[in-house]
A and B are shown apart, each in its own frame.
Chain A
Amino acid sequence: MTPFFLSSGLFLGWSLGANDASNVFGTAVGSRMIRFRTAAVSCSIFVILGAVISGAGATETLSDLGAVNAMAGSFVVAFAAAVSVYLMTLAKWPVSTSQAIVGSIVGWNLFSGFATDYNALTKIVLTWVACPLLSAAIAVICYKCVQVLVNSFSFHIFMLDRFTRAGLLLAGAFGSYSLGANNIANVVGVFLPGSFFDDLVVFDTLVFSARHQLFLIGSIAIAVGVFTYSRRVIETVGRGIFKLSPIMAFVAVLSHSIVLFLFASQGIESFLLAHGLPPIPLVPVSSSQAIVGAVLGMGLMRGGRNINWKKVSGIAVGWVCTPVIAGIVCFICLFFAQNVFQQIVFHRDLPIASIAQPPHVARNIVPDTRWFAENSNRGRFQGDSTFAIVYGL
């Protein structure tokens, strides 16, 4: 039964791959600068690498918002997010899996009666506002730099074409890595607390943790989405945004990738903290928001005459509606799952907030086993098994 519960997360991953690959490679493929097969292979490889290597950061923030502590609950949360994404896509509204999953988690919190961590929620919502603004600012800076570079070197048209293609491919690979790192939390983040995987030890030294196994499976689902369904979306987006020149498309993808990376990189966070600077919150942000922000930034820089403000306001409405709809859908689905299908969608006897947090939980890559031993003897939590369920260890 347990692997079945993961299916909704995989479905969400598949739809993320099908939709968000268009943000990374849509303009490049649509303008025929890069072939679909090249884009799909590159996107799949780097999404998996990003998710497995750097996927942990943003996942923590989602866990702060609400750690879904029953597998059926995780299933419903991911399912509600996936359905919301699907409904919004049907209505032709721009959709963000990040917002859908956050809405779903809040829906689960409301249904289960667990308090929503408003600090985490505020951090996430503020990030959604900051993401397009930051992306726009980065796009303007990058565009100016590229403009100076191109004008001062006076490239031959075909040389510039070759550089642009290489740039689009590199920026796309970076974007895919960042997408995997930042958005894997949306796909399998809710399954971490109730994960049924065991750590794998390879060659007696290399530990492939349960978390990483889950990230790998989720990222493979994203890759499958990229290969099986993203072509249509990519071509639609490519044609829709083709008014961008290939160089502008490169700048848009680069800015989007930088923003996603900033909100997923634990390395940058540690660096900022080490230098006494305010850290960038590690939050799953919407790649659609990032790319729209970048395009808007460049549009405004060029006077804003060609910007379709009606479309922009539609996109903004979509950003507001997605989490709300996901929350409502999740609440209704949880009600049916609990009362019609008789599933345990949350464990009331596991008050997450009351359980003392081990030192590694904030950024738990390697569990601190000594801490478990000490605290289990003092009776600070209900037992190893309980702790394992809540924190996915």
Chain B
Amino acid sequence: MTLRRILKTRTGIEKEIENFLNQVSQSGLIFNQGITTFFESNGDKFERLLQQMIDTEHRADRLRRSIEDHLYRKTLIPESRGDVLRMIETMDSLLGKFKGAMYQLYIEKPAIPQSLAAGVKSLSDNVVNSVEALTLSVRAYFTDINKVADHLHKVSFWEKEADVVSTQLQLEIFNNEQFELSQKMQLRDIIRRIEDISNQAEDVADSLSIYVIKRSL
């Protein structure tokens, strides 16, 4: 076996982490599709996407538990283990937030006017982009620490974009005289819930930048 092949050989835990990050990335794609489907008023497709999201989250949960078990049982990467576990857990909770937002739309079925559709889709795009950039950063943390910085700054960029869109949407909602206060509050809640995903992605990115410093030689 050549040195290159030895270096490229992935062990169980490496595959599991890769797989886990794939689930996080996939949940973002499902969420984006879900938002689009919601505005198309395609209930069946939305339910199917919600089910996909639930399955993805279950798979991610199983992988998370297995990763934690591996790390503790085999006392791997003792110096970075705490950081890695925290990172995996917060990434998993991002997935939970995607699912939570979709569930809220499914349960409450809020009447979001078409005038806000473009804004909400844009918010969703920005949020998913921030999570995607975070996933790439985390992947680089494991595979090539020098490349983390290439993706990390994009998380903040997309989070700020999401912030701007969210503020704009809330202004539009509360300036609209036709909405009841209850409807305004419901819409605001949904907007904030979606925006909160990118906020958490940024928090993880901030922690990740510290983990990178800790790991640097």
Contacts and interface: CB of A to CB of B under 8 A. Distances in A.
A366 interface: no
A158 B77 contact: yes
B106 to A, nearest CB: 38
B14 interface: yes
9 contacts: A32-B75, A32-B78, A33-B75, A151-B217, A154-B146, A156-B14, A159-B7, A245-B217, A246-B78
B79 A245 contact: yes
B7 A158 contact: no
B14 A158 contact: yes
A314 B14 CA distance: 45
Give chain B's interface residue range (CB within 8 Å of chain A). 20 to 34
B112 interface: no
Contact of B79 (A150, A153, A156, A246): A246
A247 B13 contact: no
B144 interface: yes
A309 interface: no
A31 B11 contact: no
B217 A158 contact: no
A250 to B, nearest CB: 11
Nearest to A158: B14
Interface in B170-207: none
Interface of A: 31-33, 143, 146-147, 150-151, 153-159, 161, 245-247
Contacts of A151: 146, 217
A157 B78 contact: no
Nearest to A148: B217
A150 B217 CA distance: 9
A156 B11 CA distance: 11
B138 to A, nearest CB: 11
Interface string B1-32: 00000010011011000000000000000000
Interface in B121-143: 141-143
B190 to A, nearest CB: 38
A157 B80 contact: yes
Contacts of B141: 157
A33 B78 contact: yes
A31 B14 contact: no
* Closest A-B pairs by Cβ, 7 of them: A154-B144, A32-B78, A32-B75, A161-B77, A147-B217, A157-B142, A31-B78
Given A151-B217, A245-B217, A161 B76 contact: yes
A131 B11 CA distance: 41
B145 interface: yes
Contacts of B11: 158
A31 B13 CA distance: 20
A100 to B, nearest CB: 34
Nearest to B12: A158
Nearest to A159: B7
Contact of A156 (B143, B147, B215): B143
A32 B79 CA distance: 9
A155 B142 CA distance: 9
Nearest to B140: A154
Contacts of B14: 156, 158
A245 B76 CA distance: 14
B217 A247 contact: yes
Contacts of A159: 7
Nearest to A157: B142
Contacts of B147: 154
A156 B17 CA distance: 12
Contact of A31 (B79, B84, B145, B215): B79
A156 to B, nearest CB: 5
Nearest to B76: A161
Contact of A155 (B7, B75, B78, B84): B7
